[in-house]
A and B are shown apart, each in its own frame.
Chain A
Amino acid sequence: AQKVTQAQTEISVVEKEDVTLDCVYETRDTTYYLFWYKQPPSGELVFLIRRNSFDEQNEISGRYSWNFQKSTSSFNFTITASQVVDSAVYFCALSTNTGNQFYFGTGTSLTVIP
């Protein structure tokens, strides 16, 4: 069975602090893809990143970075020097060879306090 767990329901940080959002996934497939999406208060889902199971290289995009570790089945997301505009709900998702759907975590609501 496929499953994504985002144990952190809500996180609050003060502006300019770093914050890490955790994502743990479960799958028996050897080929799979992991995604992060951002849902700001306006409601739309914005794609942030995609990683495949064969590429464990960490990725950095501006203030955003992602740490993928197969050994712990985790795909964590770090925001450096957080800003108020980062306030949103962040979803981690998993896609595998079993079915053609995304399995979403329950999301982490991040509030950045000015």
Chain B
Amino acid sequence: DSGVTQTPKHLITATGQRVTLRCSPRSGDLSVYWYQQSLDQGLQFLIQYYNGEERAKGNILERFSAQQFPDLHSELNLSSLELGDSALYFCASSPDGHQQETQYFGPGTRLLVL
């Protein structure tokens, strides 16, 4: 158990809908990362937050947004969902968000868009 929690574990929704994925980092970690894992794209970095502020952005679509709250939990919002958004979404955390730090991953949220 990495100490990172993610809810829900599974999510089934329809195209065009909007969903919110939630992540709580390990105790003491200030930085949160979001990744998407799909069969065709592999593990792709989406976005990073540090202490409530966006720090780095990867291959995140405009239909997707995220935020980190004062209690350090983070939410990833996916809107206007398409079939291709079906994937495993991971949250990871690290103490200070520096490049040398190990990122500890949550169990993931499996999203299925029908």
B48's nearest neighbour on chain A, judged by CB, is A100
A29's nearest neighbour on chain B, judged by CB, is B99
Which residues does A use to contact B, with CB under 8 Å? 32-33, 35, 37, 42-47, 50, 52, 91, 95-97, 99-104, 106-107
A104's nearest neighbour on chain B, judged by CB, is B43
B6's nearest neighbour on chain A, judged by CB, is A44
- Given A44-B2, A44-B105, A45-B105, A99–B56 Cβ distance below 8 Å? yes
- Cβ contacts under 8 Å, A37 to chain B: 105
Assess the A100–B43 pair: CB atoms within 8 A: no
Dominant secondary structure at the B interface: strand
Q: Would you give the shortest CB distance from B59 to chain A, in whole angstroms?
A: 10
Is B18's CB within 8 Å of the partner chain A? no
- Cβ contacts under 8 Å, B106 to chain A: 44
Assess the A100–B90 pair: CB atoms within 8 A: no
A47's nearest neighbour on chain B, judged by CB, is B102
Identify the interface centre among B33, B42, B43: most chain A CB within 10 Å of its CB.
Answer: B43
> Which 9 residue pairs spanning A and B have beta carbons closest together?
A45-B105, A101-B45, A104-B43, A100-B56, A95-B99, A44-B107, A106-B42, A33-B100, A50-B102
